[in-house]
Amino acid sequence: MSDVSKRVDEAVTYVGSKTKLRPTIGLVLGSGLGAFADSLEKPTRIPYKEIPHFPIATAIGHKGELVIGTSGGTPVAVMSGRVHHYEGYSLEQVVFPVRVLGRFGVRVLVMTNAAGSVNVNYHPGELMLIEDHINFMGGNPLQGENPASLGERFFDMADAYDPRLREIAERACRKFGVTARFGVYIGMTGPSYETPAEIKMARAMGADAVGMSTVPEVIAARHMKLRVLGISCITNMAAGHSKKPVDHKEVLAVGERVKQALLDVLGSIIEQAAKQA
């Protein structure tokens, strides 16, 4: 057994000792989007610092706990906050929690993030359903040893973001009157926000939204054959689109403003996705 597989198994054993639930649906909540974890019924809260080998979230707006409970009767595992490459973690460490969720039994993973709009037609407060991504983070979390127990060395990323889950999300947005956009997410390292020239480049490459997460985790999830839905909450216009400087306080404020709409949409997505999990 590889060291990575051993660490994953130790974390899974610990999480399993804290709850009898075995969810097949998992969620990762981005900056300012942690309210969904607080809406779960009969939650078991496990701080990341208590889980063996788990990286600790340090970014503002990331609570740093795994919450396992039910949403409308459906068992779910929710990561309230994530870690990022810019916090000093390796990409392998960044994806460790996703690997734990996959080994724990999660088969459908809903990834959320706060993102800046590269597309001038998308606006703060809207949701973008991710159709594809561009990895501009300078590496791949699967470089190095490949634990065969986690997945094949080479695997397809053509449908990294599941079209059927995207259809479910679109219907949920329509049901609750939430504007749903579709587009390509580009992941950059941060923590500095992008320059206007970098955003111009991202737009030329076909990106619609930009952020500092999600891409490594989706790669690891697909490595384990998890089905993935990606949702970007557009929280600001990217550099060069506005005279206002990009401010993390604005990111968190927009997350708070769309909280109820996101709660409604995620609840509906889980209800429908559970029928496919």
Catalytic residue among 111, 114, 188, 220: 114
Q: By the 8 A CB rule, do 61 and 251 touch?
A: yes
Q: Give 31-51 as a DSSP string.
A: TT-THHHHT-EEEEEEEGGGS
Catalytic residue among 71, 80, 117, 213: 213
**C-alpha dihedral (6, 12, 15, 21), degrees to nearest 10:** -170
Upper half-sphere CA count for residue 137 (Cβ side, 13 Å)? 29
Active site residue 86: yes
For residue 213, count other CB atoms closer than 10 A to its CB: 29
Active site residue 213: yes
Active site residue 248: yes
Active site residue 236: yes
Catalytic residue among 5, 14, 53, 86: 86
CA dist 237 and 75 (Å) reads 35
Active site residue 221: no
Catalytic residue among 80, 113, 119, 236: 236
Active site residue 87: yes
Active site residue 84: yes
Catalytic residue among 71, 84, 92, 194: 84
Q: Which residues pair with 79 in a beta bridge?
A: 28, 66
Catalytic residue among 87, 92, 126, 217: 87
- Strands (DSSP E) along the chain, which ranges? 25-29, 41-47, 65-71, 74-80, 108-117, 127-135, 180-187, 209-211, 227-237
Catalytic residue ranges: 31, 62, 84, 86-87, 114, 212-213, 236, 248
